[in-house]
Amino acid sequence: MARVELKQVRKSFGSAEVIKGIDLDIAHGEFCVFVGPSGCGKSTLLRMISGLEPISGGDIVIGDEVVNDIPAADRGLAMVFQSYALYPHMTVRQNLSFGLENINTPRAEIDAKVEEVAKMLQIDMLLARRPKDLSGGQRQRVAIGRAVVREPRVFLFDEPLSNLDAELRVDMRSEITALHRRLENTMIYVTHDQVEAMTMADKIAVLRLGALEQFGRPLDLYNRPRNLFVAGFIGSPKMNFLAGRVSTQDARLLELEGGETVPLPADGFAQRPGEAVTLGVRPNHMTMAEDGPAGMTVRSVEQLGGESYIYGTLANGTALTLHLPGQIGATIGETLRVAPKTEEVHLFDTDTGLSLRRD
């Protein structure tokens, strides 16, 4: 069994603390995605788990063993990098065999395993080629194959698809999830692409500035973001945020900066009269309605045929996006009345950023 547990894991480079005490429990066989903006510490955390980067504090447990002082090569992990890191002078076969030769695996066993993995990843016809004679997608498969032949306890991937074009990324995405289903290993996958995170993960860890913002199943993060950051990061297009103050007369009304008043859910959130709050509404939970409480001036329209996006601003300057089914025409410069679906909104304390959801 190879679960991975982080206990108050820290990392400093000189005086800069870039990982600030992370606790995380990844179950055996789980596909866990680390997601977050550039520089938040995803690669550093992955490299600390791999053993390539020493930790400054805390414990890393793999299986039942604290591995803090165990060298990378002895942790039973395999890492796949964004840059592929293939050996350019070696053929695909040699690239796949190399790790096993290093640990003195018998020749016949190496050959059998390389053939099997090459077939699984559909690179068996490329075994005699060198990396420079492969496409980006094929190189990525070889890099993954090199990890698979070693039969690691845990796979670590650092943005493995970011050098591929959009279509190939989508294909490789489903191939990696299929590989996970087949091998049933624990996998930790780093990306800054929240669509990749949503589609591939059993569990997502959202990181920001070296701290864990939320850890949970993709739809739990989407439906119940803990704070403004997760709410804005998970979901595309981004959640709309409307800042205002809860009415002192009626806690079910939000007075937006600039004067308009929007209804709030009757229960579910713990808002107090007069409190500064931010209403979160996903673009697909906004509607156009003649008696809508807010006026939005249209700035641009995208009609994709099956769905439409309308981008605009409220009177107070807040940007707003509507994602509507079907073909919705709107004229640039016109003002539409819009309304959030009250039962679908999120509510956050503006000062702390934390969700005001009751449970």
Binding-site ranges for Mg ion (CB under 5 A)? 43
Amino acid identity, position 15:
S
Looking at the chain, which runs of residues are DSSP E strands?
Answer: 4-13, 16-26, 31-35, 57-62, 65-66, 77-80, 154-158, 186-191, 203-208, 211-216, 240-246, 253-256, 261-263, 276-281, 286-288, 294-303, 307-314, 319-325, 335-340, 346-349
Q: For residue 100, give the nearest of 113, 89, 88 by alpha carbon.
A: 113
Among the listed residues 8, 13, 116, 289, the single contact to ligand ATP using CB under 6 A? 13
43 is an interface residue for ligand ATP by CB under 6 A: yes
Tell me the closest approach of the beta carbon of residue 193 to ligand ATP, in angstroms. Answer: 10
44 is an interface residue for ligand ATP by CB under 6 A: yes
Residues 178-237 interacting with ligand ATP (rule: CB under 6 A) = 192
Q: In what order do the strands lie in the sheet with 16-26?
A: 16-26, 4-13, 57-62, 65-66
Residues 6+ apart with CB under 8 A from 291: 337, 339
Tell me the closest approach of the beta carbon of residue 156 to Mg ion, in angstroms. Answer: 12
**Region near ligand ATP per CB under 6 A, out of 41-49, 261-269, 281-289, 335-343:** 41-49
Nearer to ligand ATP, 42 or 146 (CB): 42
- Find where tokens 């805390």 sit: 58
274 is an interface residue for ligand ATP by CB under 6 A: no
Size of the site for ligand ATP (CB under 6 A): 11
Q: How many residues can be counted in the chain?
A: 359
Both structure tokens of 328: 């919705």
41 is an interface residue for ligand ATP by CB under 6 A: yes
Tell me the sheet residues that pair with 77: 154
DSSP 96: H
Nearer to ligand ATP, 42 or 203 (CB): 42
Tell me the closest approach of the beta carbon of residue 48 to ligand ATP, in angstroms. Answer: 9
Residue 73 class from Cβ within 10 Å (0-12 exposed, 13-18 middle, 19+ buried)? exposed
Among the listed residues 9, 26, 40, 234, the single contact to ligand ATP using CB under 6 A? 40
Nearer to Mg ion, 43 or 138 (CB): 43
**Region near ligand ATP per CB under 6 A, out of 34-42, 101-109, 117-125, 262-270:** 34-42
Binding partner of 18, given ligand ATP, Mg ion, none, CB within 5-8 angstroms per partner class: ligand ATP
Nearer to ligand ATP, 19 or 100 (CB): 19
Nearer to ligand ATP, 20 or 28 (CB): 20
38 is an interface residue for ligand ATP by CB under 6 A: yes
Both structure tokens of 88: 């350019």
**Region near ligand ATP per CB under 6 A, out of 39-47, 68-76, 237-245, 248-256:** 39-47
15 is an interface residue for ligand ATP by CB under 6 A: no
CA distance 245 to 216: 30
Binding partner of 192, given ligand ATP, Mg ion, none, CB within 5-8 angstroms per partner class: ligand ATP
The 3-state DSSP class for residue 141 equals helix
Binding site for ligand ATP (CB under 6 A): 13, 18, 36, 38-44, 192
